[in-house]
């Protein structure tokens, strides 16, 4: 599975909307979890400057200075 790819954010010319380009290598992967037109939730983590995209079906996510918790499980963030 392609877990990491470099991409870019594209700014719309007329409105304050930005688009994240998801590389084809990720989308073509058989384990890619999202479908066209699927509703997703984007959570911004201001402490680590990252965005997390989950299905709207994902019921619980908490972002704090201590880290990210999903469904009661803490996700460890390791800074390099």
My answer on whether 48 and 73 are in the same domain is yes
Q: How many CA atoms lie within 13 A of 4 on its CB side?
A: 0
pLDDT at position 59 is 64
My answer on whether 41 and 75 are in the same domain is yes
The span from the CA of 52 to the CA of 10, in Å, is 18
pLDDT per position as a tens digit, 16-74: 999 999 999 999 999 888 889 999 988 888 887 888 888 887 667 777 777 777 776 77
The number of domains in the chain is 2
My answer on whether 22 and 59 are in the same domain is no
- Per the structure block, which two tokens stand in for 47? 């402490």
pLDDT at position 19 is 92
Whether the full predicted model's pTM is greater than 0.95, yes or no, is no
Residue range of the domain that includes 10: 1-32
Q: Is the pLDDT of residue 76 over 90?
A: no
My answer on whether 42 and 69 are in the same domain is yes
My answer on whether 63 and 28 are in the same domain is no
Name the nearest CA neighbour of 44 among 35, 34, 54, 36.
54
User: What is the sign of the dihedral through the CA atoms of 30, 33, 38 and 42?
Assistant: negative
| Helix/strand/coil percent split, the chain, to 5 | 5, 35, 60
């Amino acid at each position: 599975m392609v877990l990491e790819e470099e991409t870019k954010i594209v700014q719309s010319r007329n409105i304050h909307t930005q688009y994240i380009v998801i590389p084809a290598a990720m989308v073509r992967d058989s384990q890619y979890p999202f479908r066209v037109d699927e509703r997703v939730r984007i959570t911004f983590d201001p402490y680590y400057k990252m965005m997390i995209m989950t299905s709207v079906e994902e019921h619980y996510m908490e972002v704090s200075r201590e880290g990210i918790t999903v469904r009661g499980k803490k996700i460890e963030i390791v800074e390099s």
